[in-house]
Structure 1
Amino acid sequence: MTGSQREGELDTGFAVLDTARESRLGFPEVIYGEGKTAEQLIQIARRMREKSDKLLMTRIGSEKAALVTAAVPDLLYHSEAQAITGFVPLPPPSREGYIAVVCAGTSDRRVAEEAAVTLEIMGSRVERITDVGVAGIHRLLSRLDALRNADVVIAIAGMEGALPSVLGGLIARPLIAVPTSVGYGTGLNGLIAMGAMLNGCAPGVTVVNIDNGFGAAYAAANIHKSIRREQ
């Protein structure tokens, strides 16, 4: 059976889309692309277009993205973020201020870009600060003004995961830490970085799951909206 099941739901035959999520939460349902076929993503995009002018799909490789964007007009593939957005270009920021997305190394940039693209489609301005890991801490210290002026900071790091702990002692801003799976064998695909962030002594650091740039960005955007609504 296809078509509307209950109010706010749309049954595609293989997925039930939450078409009322934008009215409840302020942003449409985000589509996780890993494990879905290109044809499934095409069908989802077409049905989502009936309900919203915004679309975000995450974790989509380049070959699958080429098929989806060729079949559905007005979609944009962000290759480094492995994300698709639509159905209009990324909007200009809808609120004052900005969110800093900080990554320790170049190898963390895929996760950082997933976070940045998510923030941009949700209406926040992004300040990207890259390759400022603690092994060259002078690079981080030279960007402290930009970090201290941000409304929210997302800190992304693999290896030993030390970046958020250092930032937590330097800035008085909501700080969301993202461990990445970047690192050598004993890094255990990000488990060591996540453990370090969860056990850090800097106060006020919130930790999301390994490689979850999207989750960090969604939370940061909600914080940003709340901060700017109160001002």
Structure 2
Amino acid sequence: MNRPAIETLLRNVAAGRVSAEAAAEAIARLPFEDLGFARVDHHRALRCGVPEVIFGAGKTPEHVETIFTRLARYPHGVLATRVEPKAAQRLRRRFPHGRHNPLARTFSLIPPDAEHEPAAAVSVVAAGTSDLPVAEEARETLAALGISSRVCYDVGVAGLHRLLAVLDELRSADVLIVIAGMEGALPSVVGGLVSAPIIAVPTSVGYGASLGGLAALLAMLNSCASGVSVVNIDNGFGAAYQAAMIARRIAAGVRRPEPPTPSRSAPAQRPRAKRSAPRSVPPAQTASRVTNRAPRPVSRARPPRLDKRGSA
């Protein structure tokens, strides 16, 4: 549940359209909902701005459908990634108006009144057609998060003329998701041509020595081009999520508030004791005191006593 949903719920209670008991039940489920096999996080949208996303790999079709159904109760979009065919079949039957992309292995439910945010320009760039499953996962994730995107597919380094043909489009982007397998060279090449941040995604595409995408991952981590960050192998969702966060902040012009500078106060000083002002004496009194004071007698040395013989 997001903030607008809470505000709508409170307005419905105030207008009498929703009972206080029903509202209390809805609010009680806000933090999370314990299903026994999963604890659905309904506060994710409030904390992070995006509701919880279902990772379908390793889950049974029944689990995927149940979690998806619980999240779909609230008026925000729902996204499931790495959806297996049997789980996708159940979701299509339960949500016929949902959006299924078999190539990306995603299933999303976007409200009909949802509008794409006027966010920054995001481009999804893929080196080869074999990288499209990861690229489509990134594109579908952006769409579920309300971010429009442009795609540039099959522009790998084996034919640089294909990349140069879309150079103007690449340079107009605010954020780029660059996807490549095999030797993973494309993000470094693009990084030397554009001034926007690049989120590189290594894929598991390649022959034996590619080690399932490890070669591309290490190549991207060791890129000599600045401004290239790297996510995990085949993680198109993670790259799109990060790009969406950047795009939203660029579009909103949000700046984090500057932390308050601690005031450096002068060290505490001990209060000085007040000196009493000297008593003022009238001039006449002062003169009289000085004048009337008896002079101190001057001591004179006594002469030595002489005995009868006259010797001292």
TM-score w.r.t. length of structure 1: 0.94
* 1:108 equivalent in structure 2: 131
Q: What one-letter code is carried by the residue in structure 2 that aligns with 1:64?
A: A
RMSD: 1.9
On the 8 A contact 1:158/1:182 being kept in 2, the answer is yes
On the 8 A contact 1:54/1:85 being kept in 2, the answer is yes
Query: Take 2:116 and 2:172, find their aligned partners in 1: how far apart are those partners?
Result: 17
On the 8 A contact 1:178/1:216 being kept in 2, the answer is yes
Displacement of 1:63 after TM fit? Answer: 3.1
2:64 pairs with 1:26: no
Moved more, 101-110 or 20-29: 20-29
Moved more, 20-29 or 66-75: 66-75
Query: Take 1:4 and 1:229, find their aligned partners in 2: how far apart are those partners?
Result: 29
* 1:183 equivalent in structure 2: 206
Displacement of 1:122 after TM fit? Answer: 1.0
Matched residue SS, 2:40 = strand
Matched residue SS, 1:36 = coil
Query: Take 1:117 and 1:104, find their aligned partners in 2: how far apart are those partners?
Result: 18
* 1:210 equivalent in structure 2: 233
Distance 1:128 1:92, change over 3 A: farther
Matched residue SS, 2:68 = helix
* 2:60 equivalent in structure 1: 37
Displacement of 1:90 after TM fit? Answer: 9.4
On the 8 A contact 2:110/2:144 being kept in 1, the answer is no
Deviations 1:140-196 (A, max 9, x none): 011011111011000000000000000111000011000000000000000000000
Pick from 68, 88, 91 the counterpart of residue 111 of structure 2: 88
* % identical aligned pairs: 49
On the 8 A contact 2:116/2:147 being kept in 1, the answer is yes
On the 8 A contact 1:75/1:85 being kept in 2, the answer is yes
On the 8 A contact 2:119/2:251 being kept in 1, the answer is yes
2:166 pairs with 1:147: no
On the 8 A contact 2:54/2:81 being kept in 1, the answer is yes
Q: What one-letter code is carried by the residue in structure 2 that aligns with 1:42?
A: E
Displacement of 1:87 after TM fit? Answer: 4.4
Moved more, 119-128 or 27-36: 119-128
Query: Take 1:5 and 1:130, find their aligned partners in 2: how far apart are those partners?
Result: 46
Query: Take 2:86 and 2:225, find their aligned partners in 1: how far apart are those partners?
Result: 42
Query: Take 1:212 and 1:20, find their aligned partners in 2: how far apart are those partners?
Result: 24
Name structure 1 gaps, 5 residues minimum: none
Matched residue SS, 1:220 = helix
**Number of corresponding residues:** 229
On the 8 A contact 1:39/1:68 being kept in 2, the answer is no
Q: What one-letter code is carried by the residue in structure 1 that aligns with 2:228?
A: V
Q: What one-letter code is carried by the residue in structure 2 that aligns with 1:17?
A: V
Aligned counterparts, 1:55-204, within 5 A: 55-88=78-111, 91-204=114-227
Could you say which structure has the higher strand fraction?
A: 1
Structure of greater Rg: 2
Query: Take 1:149 and 1:181, find their aligned partners in 2: how far apart are those partners?
Result: 29
Q: What one-letter code is carried by the residue in structure 1 that aligns with 2:156?
A: G
Matched residue SS, 1:156 = strand
On the 8 A contact 1:49/1:87 being kept in 2, the answer is no
Name structure 2 gaps, 5 residues minimum: 1-25, 255-312
Displacement of 1:61 after TM fit? Answer: 2.4
Query: Take 2:250 and 2:79, find their aligned partners in 1: how far apart are those partners?
Result: 24
TM-score w.r.t. length of structure 2: 0.70
On the 8 A contact 2:126/2:132 being kept in 1, the answer is yes
Moved more, 142-151 or 64-73: 64-73
Query: Take 1:214 and 1:226, find their aligned partners in 2: how far apart are those partners?
Result: 19
On the 8 A contact 2:122/2:148 being kept in 1, the answer is yes
Displacement of 1:6 after TM fit? Answer: 7.1
Query: Take 1:230 and 1:166, find their aligned partners in 2: how far apart are those partners?
Result: 29
Kindly indicate whether structure 1 or structure 2 has the higher relative contact order, using CA contacts under 8 Å at least 6 residues apart. 1
Displacement of 1:103 after TM fit? Answer: 0.2
